[in-house]
Amino acid sequence: MRIEHDSLGPMEVPSNAYYGIQSLRAAQNFQISGTKIHPMMIRSLLLLKKSAAIANFKSHALDKRISQAIVKAINSLLSLDESTLYESGRYFIVDTFQAGAGTSQNMNINEVVANIANESLGQSLGTYSPVHPNNHVNMSQSTNDVYPTSMRLATLNLSIELVVELSNLSDALKAKALEFDSIIKAGRTHLQDAVPIRLGQEFEAYSFTIDQLIEQFILAQQSLRILGIGGSAVGTGLNVPKGFRQFIILELQEFFNDKKLSLSANMISAMQSQLPMMTYSNALRSTCLELTRIMNDLRLLSSGPHTGLAEIILPASQPGSSIMPGKINPSILEMGNQVFYKVLGNDHAMSFANSAGQLELNVMMPLMAHLNLESTHLLKNAIRSITQNCILGIKANVAQCEKFLSQTTQIITVLNPLIGYEKASEIIKEALVKNKTILEILNERNILSEEQLKSVLNLREQTISQ
C-alpha cells in the first residue's frame, strides 16, 4: 500500500493502482450498482483531457514537457483493451451512480492520467509530481464543463453506430417490400377487414417510418455537437487562459473526426441546461414506440401458424417451448420489445434528471450519461439482431394471403362511386348471412356490367394510389 493525502486526510491506496485517493474514496462511498462507466464515456473523457493538454500548451499555460507526458499517458490508455481497464481494478473504479455532476469520474480520469504520466517520467505512483491531477491534467477545466462536454461527445459517437443499424434495418425492410410487392392481401383497420393492400406496401411503410426516425437522430446529433468546454465552473470561463477555447475545439474536431463540433454561444446555458441530452432521449423514445408497434405487427402477422393470421413466416431462432414439441415463437421480436420497454423507462428517468438542474448546474449528469449510453448500446444491438436474425429471413405465406383476400367483404368498397354506400352495405350483409363471397353475390344479383366486374376483380389496381 501507499499513503496519499487529500483535504479529508491520509488514506491507504494499493501500491500498484493507477487511480488515487479521490477515486478510492468514491469507490468506497458509492458501492451501488457494480456498473462501470460506459467505455465510450471513458474514451471521450480521455480525448477531452488530451485536447486540453494540447490547448493549454498552445495557450502558454502548460509546460511542453508536462503536456507531452499527459498526451503520451492518454495515448497509452487508449491503446489498452476494455478488460484491462476495467477488470484489472487498477484504472477506472468509480460506479455509474456516483457524486453529482461527475466529479468522482473526472478525478478518476485525472489521477490515472497523472500517475501514468509520472511513471513514464521515472516517478513513483502517487507522487503526483511533476504531473498533478488537478493542476495539470485538469488545467483550465472544471468537472462542470468537462462532464457535459464528454457525455455529449460520447452520446454523439455511439449514436452514429445506432444510426447505422437503423439504416440497415430500413434497407432490409425495403428489400422485403420489393420481394413482397406482388402479394395482395386483405388490409385491416381496427383489427377488422379493410380494403386490399400489398404485403410489400406494409413493409415499405415500415421502412419509411424508420427513415423518419433516422432524421430525428440526425437533428439530435446536431444539438449534441454544441459544447460548453472552456466555461469552467459556472460558464464564465474563470481560470481559462486566452485562446484555450479556440484551441481545444480544434483538437476535439480532429480527435473525434467531426468538423461540425462547435462551442456554445452561451457557456452558462451549456451547464445549466442539458437539453441536447433530452432531445436525443426523445429520439430514442420515438424510435422505441414506433419499433414496438412494428414488432407487434410482425408478431401478429406471423401468429398461428394454424389458428392465427400466418400471412408471414418468421425464421426460427430457437425451440419455443419446454413442454410443447415443435413450437416456434417470435423470440427475436420479443427480445426487441423488452429492450424497447427498457429504453422507454430510461427516457422517463431522463425526463426527471433533465428537469432537476438548479441554477448554474445540473448535477444529475452521471445518470443522464448512463441512461443515454445504455439505451443506445441496447438499442443498436437489439436492432442488429432483429435485422439479421429476423427481418432478412421473413417469408410470405402467399396461400394464406390469397385465402384471406378472397374472404374479405371490403373489396366492394371500390364500387361505392357506382352503386353507393348503402347498396354496397346490403351486399356485404347478404354475403355474411349466406356465407358467400362478394363476387358470388354480385353475380347472383347481376347488377354489374362486365367492365364493372373487371374493376372489382382488378385488386392490384385497388392498391395503387391515384
Active site residue 321: yes
| Eight-state DSSP code of residue 243 | T
Q: For cell 460506459, what's the residue? A: 38
Q: What CA–CA distance (Å, rounded) separates 196 from 186?
A: 5
Reference 102, options 140, 144, 70, 41; nearest CA is 144
Determine contact, residues 36/95, Cβ cutoff 8 Å. yes
- DSSP H stretches of helix in 302-395: 331-355, 365-389
Cell numbers that stand for 449 in this block:
356490367
Does residue 196 have a cis bond before it (omega within 30 degrees)?
no
- DSSP-derived secondary structure for 270-320: HHH--HHHHHHHHHHHHHHHHHHHHHHHHHHHT--SSSS---EEPPP-SB-
* Terminal Cα-to-Cα distance of the chain (whole angstroms): 80
Length of the chain: 466
How far does Cα 216 stand from its chain's mean position? 11
Judged on CB neighbours under 10 Å (0-12, 13-18, 19+), 398 is: middle
Q: What CA–CA distance (Å, rounded) separates 191 from 78?
A: 54
Backbone torsion region of residue 279, taken as left when φ is above 0, otherwise alpha when ψ lies between -120 and 50, otherwise beta: alpha
Q: What CA–CA distance (Å, rounded) separates 454 from 431?
A: 19
Q: For cell 440497415, what's the residue? A: 168
Q: What CA–CA distance (Å, rounded) separates 255 from 109?
A: 18
* Beta-sheet pairing, 395-396 with 226-227: unpaired
Reference 339, options 393, 289, 277, 279; nearest CA is 289
For 400, the 3-state DSSP assignment is helix
Q: What CA–CA distance (Å, rounded) separates 437 from 428?
A: 9
Catalytically annotated residue among 124, 129, 321, 425: 321
- Going 87 to 93 to 98 to 100, the CA torsion angle's sign is negative
The residues pairing with 218 across neighbouring beta strands, listed in sequence order, are none
Judged on CB neighbours under 10 Å (0-12, 13-18, 19+), 22 is: buried
Cell numbers that stand for 148 in this block:
457535459
Write out the catalytic residue numbers. 321
